[in-house]
């Protein structure tokens, strides 16, 4: 049994920088024809200079793979001139609520005080990508943030807003309320709940932000992905941390899935008799929603078991050591 | 500023065995005049022979401290003869739902199929101590188990049932529904929520079972402890694991608090103007509810800052390195 995917895209990736960039960028680029590269470096990618530097770094690390990096700026109070100058080089601007995730301490404290920037982005047709969590109780943050999404989607009806890595039934429902809202969802949030993180032994390698939620939430996300919802895209949020930052007294948030995303999804979609919808979820929706033309590639997956490696260099992937039933046989 | 506590009791302690027993038993016995010793060893303490062996081990490890170990048996399908023989040596029998916590895989699968044992325990006036969690979703387990408590409390009105280490508003409410229900609560569940475990970095040293819940739950527990509710007792559930079992890909459940319980509680009760109620919460209620007469000791706490040690041998305590505002000055 085999499956061919054309130009799969990962619409939410953390490539990091320096040595980690060199480890993880080729792993994504080996399977994907393109992806959205997040700007939460230290310091963040929040100027044209830094953006061009990072774009070069990413291209260098990707090497000869046919992979289009869709670059993003880190949201701040940009001028119109800055936005105009950056626009040709980016797919959108990523907004992090302050302190919500890795290296986002410099993010915007009060989203709603930045309406003048959103207005310019709407006018210039620059998409807004959002890590949508408040500073509330960990399980309520995304649900509470839905009010911010509502406010933004209503105030800026032509601004294309991506709710990144959604994890709740509430966010799925929001997709159907507003035409200008779209979302990414990670493979891991289609597969796990808080039970997998903390229901047995505590598993730091399944700890991420937003944290995995309740079974009802996972089921709502999965139903939308399998359907497939036309405004839902696969964005892995693959986020590498070295093992000593994970198996630690203060474990960093992030699940590393880059090299196993397509096998995980093939197994999941096959289980639910929805393999036919995987192409749309991992490529076609993103192409339409972002109007991108990635390189033409074909990934051939076969239903043959593979054991997920224990580590990729210093990084432990999701479900290390587990056997899954699909693998990537060839990319052409 | 100082506080004198008479014969404080810890009504839920994990002493383990062998080298770990020798590390942790003296730390509890240095501050407490007695405590309930949990039977979840490998294999569990579920026979008179093993109970007498473990009692001797505990007494040996406690050494010259004035500390009464209140021993427990691990629940199973005991005969009446076994219960009669064990009764003089135990304070109660501890029931673990299968697989719910450390070393409880041999626990009772179906609590309600054991009514004949509960009936004998009621007749013989042997208290039942329960780890009350179902096998459901991690955040729902205690709330779901409340139905089991209701069933048991109704069917066996003279059976004294202790809901161990309660973590939810639902369990607090249950205390007022049934005269024969009482509960222990840990210091950490009065202090932390899931936010402290997983809201920032993931903290394996604050991971325990039952897992810390929502702010509303913590507030309900704290209100009951401060009141102080007459059927609520301090039981620390202090549970040591070596650091390599905590900062690990599969982190064991358990928070180690034994040497810092009284300073933590003095700080907390002082903050809420309830220092006057701490004696009842850490000793008097337990003496009345279990009809025990511990050795007469006096613990003098002073309001002077202490830094919580980074480790006790291989074990990292709760809030290692943090400064708290009370310390134990003298035990006489």
- Secondary structure (DSSP) of B253-301: P----GGGHHHHHHHHHHHTT-GGGHHIIIIIHHHHHHT------EEEE
pLDDT at residue B109, rounded to an integer: 52
Q: Cβ-count burial of A60 within 10 angstroms (0-12 exposed, 13-18 middle, 19+ buried)? A: exposed
| Two structure tokens written together for B71 | 């021993």
Tokens 């793979």 belong to which residue?
A65
Task: Judge whether residue B327 has pLDDT over 90.
Answer: yes
Tell if the CB–CB gap between A215 and B249 is shorter than 8 Å. Answer: no
- A214: closest chain B residue by CA: B137
For residue A26, how far is the Cα from the chain centroid?
17
Tell if the CB–CB gap between A137 and B203 is shorter than 8 Å. Answer: no
Rounded to 10 degrees, the C-alpha dihedral A72/A73/A75/A77 comes to -140
Please say whether the beta carbons of B236 and B260 come within 8 A.
no
Cα R_g (chain A), whole angstroms:
18
- Whole-complex ipTM: 0.94
- CB contacts under 8 A, A 139-178 vs B, are 139
d(Cα B256, Cα B24) in Å, to the nearest integer?
9
pLDDT at residue A111, rounded to an integer: 80
- What pLDDT, in 10s, does the model give residues B232-284? 999 999 999 999 999 999 999 999 999 999 999 999 999 999 999 999 999 99
Tell if the CB–CB gap between B195 and A248 is shorter than 8 Å. Answer: no
| Two structure tokens written together for A292 | 């991108």
- Domain segments of chain B as ranges: 2-331
**Contact list, A197 vs chain B (CB under 8 Å):** 198
Residues 6+ apart with CB under 8 A from B133: B97, B100, B101, B141, B142, B145, B209, B210
First vs last C-alpha separation in chain B: 18
For A126, the 3-state DSSP assignment is coil
- Beta strand pairing call for A92-95 and A128-130: parallel
Query: Candidates 3.40.50.300, 3.20.20.140, 3.10.180.10, 3.30.70.2970; correct CATH number of B2-331?
Result: 3.20.20.140
Tell if the CB–CB gap between B138 and A248 is shorter than 8 Å. Answer: no
Best mutation target among B101, B198, B244 (most A Cβ atoms within 10 Å) is B198
Query: Average per-residue pLDDT in chain A?
Result: 95
pLDDT at residue B97, rounded to an integer: 78
For B4, the 3-state DSSP assignment is strand
Tell if the CB–CB gap between A137 and B214 is shorter than 8 Å. Answer: yes
Look at phi and psi of residue B167 and say left if phi exceeds 0, alpha if psi is from -120 to 50, else beta. alpha
Which residue in B195, B248, B253 is closest to A137 by CB distance?
B195
Q: Compute the average pLDDT of residues B23-35.
A: 98
Q: Compute the average pLDDT of residues B295-323.
A: 98
pLDDT at residue A106, rounded to an integer: 43
pLDDT at residue A101, rounded to an integer: 55
pLDDT at residue A41, rounded to an integer: 96
- Beta strand pairing call for A298-302 and A2-6: antiparallel
For A22, the 3-state DSSP assignment is helix
pLDDT at residue B108, rounded to an integer: 44
Please say whether the beta carbons of A225 and A232 come within 8 A.
yes
Cis, bond preceding A210 (omega within 30 deg of 0): yes
Closest-CA residue to A28 (of A57, A63, A67, A55):
A67
**Contact list, A253 vs chain B (CB under 8 Å):** 201-202
| Two structure tokens written together for B143 | 């709330």
Q: Which positions of A are annotated as active-site residues?
A: 237
In what order do the strands lie in the sheet containing B2-6?
B2-6, B298-302, B327-331
- A319: closest chain B residue by CA: B249
Cβ neighbour number for residue A19 with a 10 Å cutoff: 11
A139 min Cα distance to partner chain B (Å): 8
Which residue in A195, A251, A320 is closest to B201 by CB distance?
A251
pLDDT at residue A97, rounded to an integer: 78
Please say whether the beta carbons of A315 and A240 come within 8 A.
yes
**Per-residue pLDDT for chain A (332 aa), expressed as one digit of tens each?**
999 999 999 999 999 999 999 999 999 999 999 999 999 999 999 999 999 999 999 999 999 999 999 999 999 999 999 999 999 999 999 998 765 555 554 444 568 789 999 999 999 999 999 999 988 999 999 999 999 999 999 999 999 999 999 999 999 999 999 999 999 999 999 999 999 999 999 999 999 999 999 999 999 999 999 999 999 999 999 999 999 999 999 999 999 999 999 999 999 999 999 999 999 999 999 999 999 999 999 999 999 999 999 999 999 999 999 999 999 999 99
Which residue in A137, A198, A205 is closest to B215 by CB distance?
A137
- Where residue B113 falls among pLDDT bands split at 50, 70, 90? confident
The domain A10-260: what is its CATH number? 3.20.20.140
Q: Does B293 touch chain A (CB under 8 A)?
A: no
pLDDT at residue B107, rounded to an integer: 41
**Residue B2: HSE in the Cβ half-sphere, 13 Å Cα cutoff:** 11
pLDDT at residue A108, rounded to an integer: 44
Q: Does A134 touch chain B (CB under 8 A)?
A: no
A286 min Cα distance to partner chain B (Å): 31
**Contact list, B205 vs chain A (CB under 8 Å):** 249
Element (H, E) at A307: strand A306-307
Q: Which positions of B are annotated as active-site residues?
A: 237
For B93, the 3-state DSSP assignment is strand
Please say whether the beta carbons of A324 and A267 come within 8 A.
yes
d(Cα A161, Cα A155) in Å, to the nearest integer?
12
Cα angle: A20, vertex A26, A32; to 5 degrees: 125
pLDDT at residue B105, rounded to an integer: 47
pLDDT at residue B273, rounded to an integer: 98
Strand partners of residue A95? A130
In what order do the strands lie in the sheet containing A128-130?
A9-13, A34-37, A68-74, A92-95, A128-130, A161-163, A181-185, A232-234
- B101: closest chain A residue by CA: A200
Cβ neighbour number for residue B276 with a 10 Å cutoff: 10
d(Cα A88, Cα A79) in Å, to the nearest integer?
16
**pTM of the shown model:** 0.95
């Amino acid at each position: 049994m085999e499956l061919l995917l054309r130009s799969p895209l990962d619409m939410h990736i953390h490539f990091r920088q320096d040595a980690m960039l060199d480890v993880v960028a080729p792993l994504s680029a080996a399977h994907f024809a393109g992806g959205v590269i997040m700007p939460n470096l230290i310091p963040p990618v929040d100027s044209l200079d830094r953006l061009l530097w990072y774009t070069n770094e990413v291209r260098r690390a990707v090497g000869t793979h046919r992979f289009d990096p869709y670059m993003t700026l880190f949201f701040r109070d940009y001028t119109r001139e800055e936005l105009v100058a950056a626009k040709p080089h980016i797919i959108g601007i990523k907004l992090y609520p302050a302190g919500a995730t890795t290296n986002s301490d410099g993010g915007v404290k009060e989203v709603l005080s930045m309406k003048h920037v959103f207005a310019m982005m709407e006018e210039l047709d620059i998409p807004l990508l959002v890590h949508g969590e408040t500073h509330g109780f960990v399980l309520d943050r995304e649900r509470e943030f839905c009010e911010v999404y509502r406010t933004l989607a209503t105030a800026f009806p032509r601004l294309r807003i991506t709710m990144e890595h959604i994890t709740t039934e509430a966010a799925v429902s929001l997709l159907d309320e507003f035409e200008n809202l779209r979302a990414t969802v990670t493979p891991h949030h289609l597969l796990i709940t808080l039970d997998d993180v903390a229901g047995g032994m505590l598993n730091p390698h399944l700890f991420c932000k937003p944290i995995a939620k309740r079974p009802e939430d996972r089921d709502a996300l999965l139903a939308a992905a399998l359907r497939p919802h036309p405004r839902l895209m696969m964005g892995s949020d693959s986020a590498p941390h070295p093992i000593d930052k994970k198996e630690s007294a203060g474990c960093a948030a992030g699940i590393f899935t880059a090299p196993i995303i397509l096998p995980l999804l093939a197994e999941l979609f096959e289980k639910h008799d929805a393999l036919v919808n995987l192409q749309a979820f991992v490529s076609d929706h993103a192409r339409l929603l972002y109007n991108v033309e990635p390189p033409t590639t074909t990934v051939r997956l076969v239903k043959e078991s593979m054991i997920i490696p224990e580590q990729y260099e210093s990084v432990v992937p999701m479900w290390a050591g587990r056997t899954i039933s699909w693998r990537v046989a060839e990319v052409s």
